[in-house]
Structure 1
C-alpha cells in the first residue's frame, strides 16, 4: 500500500537521495496553510528547551575550529526515575559537541514540545469534537553536557571530530529541519516482526533525528565510529494493510460519519492523561479490548486518520542496532 497521498503538499520523500534536510524513511507534510511550528499552550509539566535560545539559534564556530562529536543516550525520564525505563530499553538519544577553540560544549536533542504523552495520544475535550493533538517536536540546542545524566545509566562516547565549517553547515540544516519537520511520531507500524515485513508508517522521534544528523555529518565529510554497539529504541505496532479514513473535517464535520467520529473519540478517551488510578485501570481494560480483542487501532498521521487491523504481537519495544554511517 502506498500511504503517500497526491493531494497533500510533500515536504519529504522516502528516497535516500533527496536533499539533506529530508528525514530519511519518513513522509512529512507541510501544514496546508504553509505554516511552521506554532507556539501554543498545552497541558505540560516541563517547559520545552528551557536553557536553549528562544529562537532556536545555534552559535557560529570558527571554520578552523575542531569540534568533537559525542553520542549521548540515557533512559527516558532518567532525571525522575533513574534506570527504571532503561531496564526495558526505553532510551532517549542526543548528540554532544565540544569546541577545542573555546572549551565550551553543547547538547543537541530532538524531542516533543509538549511531553511524550501529549505527542502520542490526543486530548479528548468536551467542547471540541475532533481529538486535540499536541504532537509537535523540535531540536533543542543548549550549552553544556550533563556528564552524570548521560554516563550514570547510559552512554557518553566520542564518535568523531568535525571542523567549525562543517558544524556551521550542520547548524543551518538543523534550522531548516526545525522549520519543516515539525511533528513527533511515536509509533512505527509494520505488517509483522519478520525481516521482510512492510513498514506502513515510520516513526520520527529523538533517535530518528540523531540518525538523520549522523547521515548529514557523513555527507559533510565527517568520519564517525563507535567502540560499542549503537542500539536504539523502536516501538512497533503490528497491523494488516491500513485503511484511510479521512481528516478532521471529512470525519468530524460529516454527519454520515457520526458513528466513526464517536468511535475514534471513544478509542482515544482510553489514553487520556491525569486519570485517577481507578479510571486508569478501566482505561487499560478498554484499550486491551479495542486493540487485542477487537483488533482495532485508530492511527493519526500527517493530519489524517487510518484504521489499523491489529495483529499479533500487536505492540513491541525493541532495542535495535543502527550502525553509524
Structure 2
C-alpha cells in the first residue's frame, strides 16, 4: 500500500486406404496396421502442435519487469511533498561495524495517519516499513519504500493535451533515514521488535536494497486474481511498500537472521478480480497505430474518469461511467510493465484485504 505521505491526486487426416486384395484377412490386417500407424502419426502431430502452443504460453503471474538503472524523472511529474526529504540525496546508507548488533523493528501505521488519524486503519489500509537500532551507537533508522510522486500518480495516468497516450508518473523507491518516529508508528499502528542481526548482515542487506532499488523502479497498486479464494490464479502481483518489506524479510532470512513476532503480521492488499487477461500492447503499438484508434480512445476515456481535481458534479459523472465500465461492461485496463492489458472483470470486482503473511524462517 501507499506511504504515509499526502497524495498529489484525489484518486488423420488420416487418409483413406484402399487395399486391392481378395484375401479378407490380409486386407483386414493391412487396415489394422494402417489404422495404428495413422493414429500414431496423428497423436505425434497433435503432440507437436500442443508443444508449440504450450511453449509460448503466458506465464502467470506476469513477472515484474526489472531494469538495469533508474531513469531520471520527467519534469512534468511533480510531487506535492518531496520524496525522502530526510534521507541522503545520493541514496547512501551508513555502514555498521561488523561486530555491532542491530535490532529490527516491524513498523506499520494507517495511510495518511498524520492527517486522518486511524480512519484509514479502520479499513485496514496500512503503510509498512522496517526500523533499525544500532546497539553500538544507539542510533535509530527507518527504511521504507513508497511512491516518488504519491499514490494517485502511480495508480492512474494523466491525460494530457497533445499526447495520444496516457502519461504516467510512476516510480517507487526505497527511502532510508535516521530516526524512528515512535509516536507516529505506535499511536494507531505497530512498532515491534522482530529480530536482531549483526553489522555484517546489516551491510549485506543494505547492498541488496540498493541493487533492488536500482532495478525495481515502478509502483504497482493492484493485485489481480481470478477468484477471491485461496489458491486462486494470480495474474499480476502488486509491487508496493508491503512487498518491499516482505522481500527484505526474506533476504534477511537468507542471511541467517531469525525473525519472530508476538502479534499477527497482517498486510494490506487491494485486489482486482478478473478472468484471464489479454495483452494489448505498449504506447507505440496502440496509440501510434491507426488501426487501433478505437482501442486507444477507449483506454483514454477509461482513465479520463480517474483524472484529478474534479468538481463534485464531474466526480459523480465519472463514478457512474466507471461503474458502467467495470461492473456492467466488466472491463478494466491495467498498465503493467509499461504495457496495457485488458481485464474481463468478475464479481466482487475490487476488494481490500488485510491478510496475514508470516515472517519467513531461516532455511
TM-score past 0.5 threshold? yes
Aligned equivalent of 2:352, options 310, 317, 321:
317
Could you say which residue in structure 1 is the equivalent of 2:226?
191
Indicate how the Cα distance of structure 1 residues 112 and 168 shifts in structure 2: closer, same or farther if over 3 A, else same. same
- The answer to whether the Cα contact below 8 Å between 1:37 and 1:179 also exists between their aligned partners in 2 is no
**Structure-2 separation of matches of 1:49 and 1:118:** 17
Is residue 27 from structure 1 mapped to residue 66 from structure 2 by the alignment?
no
Q: Which runs of 5+ in 1 are unaligned?
A: 5-13, 15-24
Deviation digits for residues 15-41 of structure 1, max 9, x if unmatched? xxxxxxxxxx7722245xx54232333
Could you say which residue in structure 2 is the equivalent of 1:37?
71
Deviation digits for residues 151-196 of structure 1, max 9, x if unmatched? 0000000000000110000000000011101110000000011213
The count of residues paired between Structure 1 and Structure 2 equals 304
Indicate how the Cα distance of structure 1 residues 324 and 306 shifts in structure 2: closer, same or farther if over 3 A, else same. same
Q: Which runs of 5+ in 2 are unaligned?
A: 1-53
Q: Which SS does the other structure have where 2:299 is aligned?
A: helix
> Rg larger in 1 or in 2?
2
Could you say which residue in structure 1 is the equivalent of 2:96?
61
Following superposition of structure 1 onto structure 2, how do residues 186-265 of structure 1 map, counting pairs within 5 Å? 186-265=221-300
Following superposition of structure 1 onto structure 2, how do residues 1-325 of structure 1 map, counting pairs within 5 Å? 3-4=58-59, 27-30=63-66, 34-41=68-75, 42-325=77-360
Q: Which SS does the other structure have where 2:98 is aligned?
A: coil
1:278 deviates by 1.8
Task: Please state which structure has a larger fraction of its residues in helix.
Answer: 2
RMSD, aligned α-carbons: 1.4
- The answer to whether the Cα contact below 8 Å between 1:96 and 1:145 also exists between their aligned partners in 2 is yes
- The answer to whether the Cα contact below 8 Å between 1:137 and 1:182 also exists between their aligned partners in 2 is yes
**Structure-2 separation of matches of 1:324 and 1:220:** 14
Normalised by the length of structure 1, the TM-score is 0.91
Normalised by the length of structure 2, the TM-score is 0.82
**Structure-1 separation of matches of 2:352 and 2:249:** 23
**Structure-2 separation of matches of 1:155 and 1:222:** 21
**Structure-1 separation of matches of 2:254 and 2:74:** 35
**Structure-2 separation of matches of 1:62 and 1:162:** 12
- The answer to whether the Cα contact below 8 Å between 1:26 and 1:204 also exists between their aligned partners in 2 is no
